């Protein structure tokens, strides 16, 4: 089941450059929330702060408070590695492990976290691939084909399956469809639609139609600040802020 995400007073830096300013945002559970905004506005940095990927970049720094379910993300003694198991992430460019088979790709999260039970792994691989709507396309070549041999759209669904296999509570998606063709994109969007029954989804997107299609809530970021956060409908029809309106009507960005 999905859990809510709460950010309060969140600031982030790359070296001396501040990328996020005092972000406060409540993301509801079991819904999809879109993060939109022009390039370089801090969308990606924001989601990468939620699973502590931001701090893996040299000289990057975070300050503030994030709560995911019962977990204080930046609390003393919260291990980043444990946290990331509960917060799945899908990246902009499909990044399957190139030398692993389709099966091994999906099983990687479980195996490399020490799970040895063959039966359990097998079950979880099938369930995840079905959830990611990839099972029928790959079930005959699970162990004979490498993850890198799939098409771009299939690779991205494989990456989603890989993230689902560790049974996270939250799914962060950083422009998951921006490198895909329209058909693959619509498959990934269908998937997001189904996944939010079980997960809390945060999706960064450049594509405002996409935000409107998949997300109930939308946050608009501009120059490292959260300008507006509301129901998607509201953002796209009657935004409160002039800058939001300018952006969604295509006046800049």
Q: Site residues (CB under 8 A) for another protein?
A: 51, 53, 56, 58, 81-86, 88-89, 91, 93, 95-101, 108-109, 112-113, 146-149, 159, 162-163, 166
Nearer to another protein among residue 167 and residue 216 (C-beta): 167
Q: Are 90 and 156 in contact (CB under 8 A)?
A: yes
Nearer to another protein among residue 156 and residue 232 (C-beta): 156
Taking the complex as a whole, the smallest distance from the CB of residue 209 to another protein amounts, in Å, to: 26
Q: Are 83 and 167 in contact (CB under 8 A)?
A: no
Taking the complex as a whole, the smallest distance from the CB of residue 53 to another protein amounts, in Å, to: 6
Question: What is d(CA 76, CA 251) in angstroms, rounded to the nearest whole number?
Answer: 44
Nearer to another protein among residue 96 and residue 219 (C-beta): 96
Nearer to another protein among residue 96 and residue 239 (C-beta): 96
Nearer to another protein among residue 87 and residue 226 (C-beta): 87
Taking the complex as a whole, the smallest distance from the CB of residue 50 to another protein amounts, in Å, to: 11
Burial class (CB in 10 A: 0-12, 13-18, 19+), 59: exposed
Q: Are 123 and 176 in contact (CB under 8 A)?
A: no
Taking the complex as a whole, the smallest distance from the CB of residue 184 to another protein amounts, in Å, to: 18
In which residue are the tokens 């952006």 written? 247
Taking the complex as a whole, the smallest distance from the CB of residue 149 to another protein amounts, in Å, to: 6
Beta bridge partners of residue 12, listed in sequence order: 20, 62
Q: Are 242 and 228 in contact (CB under 8 A)?
A: no
Residues 6+ apart with CB under 8 A from 253: 37, 38, 39, 247
């Amino acid at each position: 089941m999905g859990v809510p995400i709460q950010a309060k007073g969140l600031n982030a830096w790359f070296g001396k450059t501040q990328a996020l300013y005092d972000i406060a945002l409540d993301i509801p559970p079991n819904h999809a929330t879109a993060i939109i905004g022009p390039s370089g506005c801090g969308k990606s940095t924001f989601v990468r702060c939620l699973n502590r990927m931001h701090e893996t970049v040299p000289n990057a720094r975070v300050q503030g408070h994030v709560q995911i379910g019962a977990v204080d993300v930046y609390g003393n003694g919260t291990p980043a590695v444990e946290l990331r198991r509960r917060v799945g992430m899908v990246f902009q460019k499909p990044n399957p492990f190139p030398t692993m088979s389709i099966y091994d790709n999906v099983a990687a999260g479980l195996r490399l976290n020490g799970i040895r039970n063959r039966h359990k792994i097998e079950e979880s691989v099938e369930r995840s691939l079905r959830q990611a709507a990839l099972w029928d396309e790959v079930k005959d070549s699970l162990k004979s084909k490498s993850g890198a041999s799939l098409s771009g759209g299939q690779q991205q669904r494989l990456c989603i399956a890989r993230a689902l296999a560790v049974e996270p509570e939250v799914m962060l998606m950083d422009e998951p469809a921006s490198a895909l063709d329209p058909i693959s994109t619509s498959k990934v969007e269908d998937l997001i639609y189904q996944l939010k029954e079980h997960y809390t989804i945060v999706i960064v997107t450049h594509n405002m139609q996409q935000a409107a299609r998949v997300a109930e809530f939308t946050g608009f970021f501009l120059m490292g600040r959260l300008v507006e956060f509301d129901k998607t409908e509201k953002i796209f029809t009657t935004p409160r802020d002039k800058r939001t309106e300018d952006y969604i009507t295509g006046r800049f960005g």
